[in-house]
Amino acid sequence: MMGVDVILGLQWGDEGKGKIVDLLSSQYDIIARFQGGPNAGHTIIIGDKKFVLHQIPSGITRSGVMNVIGNAVVLDPTILLKEITALEAEGIEVRSRLLVSRKSNLILPGHRLIDAWQEESNANGGVGSTKKGIGPTYQDKTGRFGLRIGDLHAANFDQLYNKAKERHLRLLRAVGFADEIDDAAWLIAADEVRRTLTTVDSEIYINEALNAGKRILAEGAQGTLLDIDFGTYPFVTSSNTVTASACTGLGISPKKIGKVYGVFKAYSTRVGEGPFPTELLDETGEMIRKKGHEFGSTTGRPRRCGWLDMDALKYAIMLNGVDELFMMKIDVLSGMDSLSIGEAYNNNSFAGLSFNKDVTVNYTQMQGWQEEIRGTTDYNKLPDAAKTYISQIEKLAGLPISLISTGPEREEGIRK
Ligand code: GDP
Ligand code: IMO
Ligand code: MG
């Protein structure tokens, strides 16, 4: 029996997971998201159309592929319906090709307000969250206060919802952040989700599909360095973002994980607060941000840019059990005289970064290249300096890079 393959980000998110999942989805029957929520923004570009998916798996544009939102995803009905409407407006059939876990927790209007309060009051140290209510929804999940998609179908849903709303209001009033919760649009959206979407016990669906020989790809959100346990805590997201999370996020045994594909950019970016040892606060960082359009897909915030960090990447490879690497956005690095790769931290390692942020990085200098390589599909056409950069990363990582992406569009890339 085949296993569930996993694609996830090895850095601080926005590695280009959406593009890769869309590309590979033609080889799968089912694409399943297993954690996170609308804090994610996965960009897919097909011809002149651009889609930014927040909660819907990135297989949605392929007819014949079923898309599953797993139990550990937190779901906001208003955002979900906006995504569905935008896809339908482009003639993409969504509702018959989307299954939502009954066990997925609902992001309530109060959660978004509490997230905003946590951010704006610096209550948890100013993480720089996306303010989508992710943290508070997972807090309520582990606190056993959560409402789930399946509850939308309960006869007493109104009662359950009002109880949760009252609890959120008591908190928001106590801290003086809000007196009321405006939930009219959310309630309409929640009702439409209840009426028009198919909810399932997705763990049963996935395991039965696996037993029937279906090919399944699990799509991660965020990135390993934002993992709640292993990231730069407290500057992290509220879910586990590593391979193991695909097991609890979809209800599959660890024995049923197939290949693990790790996606990383040819450099580093981070949006939000927190340590970033290889950050470039100079014109080189500015150049990468401009050329790479490094502005958040979800919030529009400028992304912090820096050199590739091999200490962090090797840690991510270890945690996830990566089999193959996919390298993104190497086209952005054209036009530099030299490039640096952060090889190791002198007095620390990524694993210790949340306790000791004061690190210096040992860099290897590499020669740059001037040629534009956007859209290149032939490895032999890459400038020698780009080939050397790629092989140096493979050597340091101890893993092959099997796909080199050279542009945002589906066809722009090299398979090695
Ligand atoms: P995700 O969250 O991991 O899916 O990544 P995002 O969609 O947030 O950010 C990646 C951005 O880079 C998107 O705007 C993509 O269209 C773009 N992109 C993906 N691959 C490449 C590439 O190889 N080269 C360039 N220049 N852009 C890319
Ligand atoms: P994708 O899936 C980049 C960051 C936020 C913030 C921290 C916590 O597109 O790669 P949260 O709203 O989750 O409580 O915010 O995590 N963050 C992301 N950064 N890409 C993402 O998703 C992110 N999702 C959350 O900026 O620093
Ligand atoms: Mg993104």
Query: 75-133: per-residue pLDDT in tens?
Result: 999 999 999 999 999 999 999 999 999 999 999 999 999 999 999 998 777 889 999 99
By alpha-carbon position, which residue is closest to atom 26 of ligand 2? Answer: 272
Strand 401-405 with 413-415, pairing: antiparallel
Helix (H) or strand (E) segment spanning residue 20: helix 17-24
The catalytic residues are 14, 42
Residues 403 and 350 in one domain: yes
What CATH number is associated with residue 352? 3.90.170.10
How far away, in angstroms, is 157 Cα from ligand 2 center?
30
Kindly report, residue by residue over 212-234, the tens digit of the pLDDT. Answer: 999 999 999 999 999 999 999 99
Residues 209 and 288 in one domain: no
- Of 385, 388, 343, the closest CA to residue 368 belongs to 385
* Cα(32)–Cα(38) distance, integer angstroms: 15
Residues 246 and 273 in one domain: no
* Cα(330)–Cα(336) distance, integer angstroms: 12
Q: What does the DSSP 8-state code read for residue 279?
A: B
Nearest bound ligand to the CA of residue 22: 1
**What number does the ligand 1 atom closest to the CA of 292 have?**
26
Q: What does the DSSP 8-state code read for residue 130?
A: -
* Cα(26)–Cα(223) distance, integer angstroms: 23
Nearest bound ligand to the CA of residue 221: 2
Average pLDDT over residues 19-29: 97
Question: Which distant-in-sequence residues (6+ apart) come within 8 Å of 90 by Cβ?
Answer: 49, 51
**What number does the ligand 2 atom closest to the CA of 9 have?**
10
> 367 vs 357, which has greater pLDDT?
367
Please report which confidence band the pLDDT of residue 358 belongs to, taking 50, 70 and 90 as the band edges.
confident
- Of 15, 40, 7, the closest CA to residue 237 belongs to 40
Neighbours of 215 (CB within 10 A): 17
**What number does the ligand 2 atom closest to the CA of 15 have?**
10
Q: Which domain holds residue 119?
A: 105-193
Average pLDDT over residues 326-335: 98
Distances (CA, A) of 61 to 87, 168, 243, 337: 8, 37, 25, 40
Residues 218 and 125 in one domain: no
Distances (CA, A) of 143 to 6, 137, 170, 205, 226: 29, 10, 16, 27, 22
Residues 292 and 208 in one domain: no
Does residue 34 contact residue 274 with C-beta atoms inside 8 Å? Answer: no
Residue 115 beta carbon below 6 angstroms from any ligand 1 atom: no
Does residue 164 contact residue 171 with C-beta atoms inside 8 Å? Answer: no
Residues 152 and 204 in one domain: no
Domain end among 176, 193, 210: 193
* Cα(267)–Cα(305) distance, integer angstroms: 8
Q: What backbone phi and psi angles, to 5 degrees, belong to 405?
A: -85, 135
Domain end among 165, 193, 221: 193
- Of 370, 261, 367, the closest CA to residue 317 belongs to 261
Determine what percent of the chain is predicted with pLDDT higher than 90: 94
How far away, in angstroms, is 40 Cα from ligand 1 center?
13
Residues 21 and 34 in one domain: yes
Residue type for position 168: H
Task: Give the pLDDT confidence score for residue 276 in this predicted structure.
Answer: 97
Residue 223 beta carbon below 6 angstroms from any ligand 1 atom: no
Residues 402 and 330 in one domain: yes
SS (H, E, C) 233-275: CCCCCCCCCCCHHHHHHHCCCHHHEEEEEEEEECCEEECCCCC
pTM of the model: 0.97
Query: Chain-centre distance of CA 28, in angstroms?
Result: 19
Residues 210 and 177 in one domain: no
Domain end among 226, 241, 261: 261
Task: Give the pLDDT confidence score for residue 296 in this predicted structure.
Answer: 85
For residue 400, cis peptide bond before it (omega within 30 degrees of 0): no
Residue from 52, 237, 328 to probe ligand 1 pocket by mutation (most atoms less than 8 Å from CB): 328
How far away, in angstroms, is 18 Cα from ligand 2 center?
14
Question: Which distant-in-sequence residues (6+ apart) come within 8 Å of 247 by Cβ?
Answer: 253, 254, 257
Residues 176 and 216 in one domain: no
How far away, in angstroms, is 169 Cα from ligand 2 center?
26
Q: Is the pLDDT of residue 1 over 70?
A: no
Average pLDDT over residues 162-166: 98
Residue from 114, 131, 226 to probe ligand 2 pocket by mutation (most atoms less than 8 Å from CB): 226
State whether residue 171 is helix, strand or coil.
helix
**What number does the ligand 1 atom closest to the CA of 45 have?**
16
Residue 18 beta carbon below 6 angstroms from any ligand 1 atom: yes
What CATH number is associated with residue 220? 3.40.440.10
Residue 405 beta carbon below 6 angstroms from any ligand 1 atom: yes
Kindly report, residue by residue over 256-295, the tens digit of the pLDDT. Answer: 999 999 999 999 999 989 999 999 999 999 999 999 999 9
Residues 52 and 81 in one domain: yes
Q: Is the pLDDT of residue 299 over 90?
A: no
By alpha-carbon position, which residue is closest to atom 20 of ligand 2? Answer: 13
Structural domain count, the chain: 3
Kindly report, residue by residue over 5-21, the tens digit of the pLDDT. Answer: 999 999 999 999 999 99
Report the sign of the C-alpha dihedral through residues 249, 319, 11, 45, in that order: negative
How far away, in angstroms, is 231 Cα from ligand 2 center?
12
How far away, in angstroms, is 292 Cα from ligand 1 center?
8
What tokens appear for 232 in the block? 């730069």
What tokens appear for 134 in the block? 């992710």
How far away, in angstroms, is 164 Cα from ligand 3 center?
30
Residues 288 and 388 in one domain: yes
What CATH number is associated with residue 167? 1.10.300.10
Ligand 2: residues whose CB is within 6 Å? Answer: 9, 12-14, 39-42, 127-130, 132, 134-135, 221-223, 226, 237-238, 271-272, 297
Determine what percent of the chain is predicted with pLDDT higher than 70: 100
